[in-house]
Chains A and B, each alone.
Chain A
Amino acid sequence: MTAEHPEQAETADVAIVGAGPAGLTAAACLRRLTGARVVVIDREAEPGGIPRHAHHQGFGLRDLRASLTGPEYAKRLADRADRAGAVIRSRAQATGWSPDGALELTSPAGRTELLARAVVLATGCRERPRSARLVAGSRPDGVMTTGTLQQLVYLAKRSPGRRAVVVGAEHVSFSALATLEHGGARAVAMVTELPRHQSFALFRLGASLRYRTPLLTGTAITAIHGRPRVQAVELTELATGATRTLECDTVVFTAGWVPDHELAVLGGLTLDPATRGPRVDGGLRTARSGLFAAGNVVHPAETADVAALAGRHVAATVQAALEDRAPWPAAAAPLICEAPLHWVAPSAVSPGPLAGPPRGRYLLRAHRELIDAGVEMVQDGRALGRHRAVRVTAGRSTALPAAVTARADPDGGAISVRVVSARCRR
Chain B
Amino acid sequence: MAGRERAMPARETDYDVAVIGAGDVGAAVARELARFELRIALIDRGDVGAGTSKANTALLHTGFDSKPGTHEARLVARGHALLQAYAAEVGIPIERTGALLVAWDETQLARFDAIEDNARACGHHGLRRVDAEELHRREPRLGPGARGALEVADEYIICPFTPPLAYATQAVLAGAHLRRGEAVTGLQPLPGGGWRVSTARANAARANAARANAGAGAAPDAGELTATWVINAAGLRSDEVHRMAGRDGFTVTPRRGELIVFDKLSRPLVNHIILPVPTAKTKGVLIAPTVFGNVMLGPTADDIDDKTSTSSTADGLARLRAAGRRLMPALLEHDVTAVYAGLRAATEHADYSLEVDGDARYACAGGVRSTGLTASMAIAEWMRDQLGDAGLELTERPVGLPAITMPNLGEAFPRPYGDAERIAADPAYGEIVCFCERVTRGEIRDAARSPIAPSDLDGLRRRTRALMGRCQGFFCGAHVAELMAAPERTP
Q: Size of chain B's interface in residues, with CB distance under 8 A?
A: 43
B residues in contact with A225, CB < 8 Å: 311
CA A145 – CA B478 in complex, angstroms?
11
Residues of B close to A240: CB separation below 8 A: none
- Hey, which chain A residues are within 8 Å of B474, CB to CB? 126-127, 129, 145, 147-148
Residue contact B438 to A95, C-beta cutoff 8 Å: yes
Contact of A134 among B336, B340, B471, B481 (CB under 8 A): B336
Tell me the bound Cα distance from A16 to B335 in angstroms.
Answer: 26
> Which A residues touch B337, using CB under 8 A?
131-132
A106 adjacent to B478 (CB under 8 Å): no
Chain A interface extent, by class:
35 or more
Measured between beta carbons, the chain B residues less than 8 angstroms from A104 are 418
Asked if residues B339 and A227 are in contact (CB atoms below 8 Å), the reply is no
The residues in B between 419 and 445 inclusive whose CB is less than 8 angstroms from any CB of A are 419-420, 423-424, 427-428, 430-432, 435, 438
State the CA gap A196–B336 with chains docked (Å).
27
When the two chains form their complex, are residues A110 and B481 in contact, meaning their CB atoms are under 8 A apart?
no
Say yes or no: is A43 at the interface (Cβ < 8 Å to chain B).
yes
Q: List chain B residues, Cβ under 8 A from A43.
A: 432, 435
In contact, B481 and A136 (Cβ under 8 angstroms): no
Q: Do B477 and A151 touch across chains, with their CB atoms under 8 A apart?
A: yes
Cα separation A353 to B170 with both chains bound (whole Å): 67
- Docked complex Cα distance between A416 and B381 (Å): 66
Check: B482 CB closer than 8 A to any chain A CB: yes
Does B475 lie at the interface of the complex (its beta carbon under 8 Å from any beta carbon of A)?
yes
Residue of B nearest to A106 (CB): B417
Cα separation A134 to B322 with both chains bound (whole Å): 14
List the B side residues contacting A151 at CB < 8 Å: 477-479
Partner of B430, one of A107, A132, A139, A152: A107
Chain B residues lying within 8 Å of A273, measured Cβ to Cβ, are 333
Interface stretch (choices B26-34, B312-320, B344-352): B312-320
Q: A134-B336, A144-B477, A152-B481 are in contact. Are A109 and B427 (CB under 8 A)?
A: yes
List chain A residues, Cβ under 8 A from B311. 136-139, 223, 225
Contact between B432 and A106, CB atoms less than 8 A apart: yes
- List the B side residues contacting A128 at CB < 8 Å: 335
Contacts of B479 in A (CB 8 A): 151, 156
Report if A8 contacts B (CB, 8 A): yes
> In this complex, what residue of A is CB-closest to B265?
A265
Closest to A110 in B: B423
CB pair A223 B427 closer than 8 Å = no
Tell me if B97 is interfacial: C-beta within 8 Å of chain A: no
Inter-chain CA distance A106–B481, complex, in Å, is 22
What's the Cα separation between A74 and B97 when bound, in Å? Answer: 47
Most chain A CB inside 10 Å of its own CB: which residue of B337, B419, B423, B478: B478
Q: Which residues of B contact A37 (CB under 8 A)?
A: none
Q: Are A136's CB and B432's CB within 8 A?
A: no
Q: Which of A111, A134, A155, A258 contacts B339 (CB 8 A)?
A: A134
Q: What are 23 A-to-B residue pairs whose CB atoms are below 8 Å?
A: A43-B432, A43-B435, A106-B423, A110-B420, A110-B430, A111-B423, A131-B337, A131-B472, A132-B337, A134-B317, A136-B313, A136-B339, A141-B457, A145-B473, A147-B471, A148-B473, A152-B478, A155-B478, A156-B479, A223-B311, A227-B308, A228-B205, A273-B333
Chain B: residues with CB nearer than 8 A to chain A?
A: 205, 265, 308-314, 316-317, 333, 335-340, 417-420, 423-424, 427-428, 430-432, 435, 438, 457, 470-475, 477-479, 481-482
Residues of A within 8 A of B (CB): 5, 8, 43-44, 91, 93, 95, 104, 106-111, 126-132, 134, 136-139, 141, 144-145, 147-148, 151-152, 155-156, 158, 222-223, 225, 227-228, 258, 262, 265, 273, 276
Across the A-B interface, the 5 shortest Cβ-Cβ residue pairs:
A151-B478, A129-B472, A108-B427, A111-B420, A148-B477
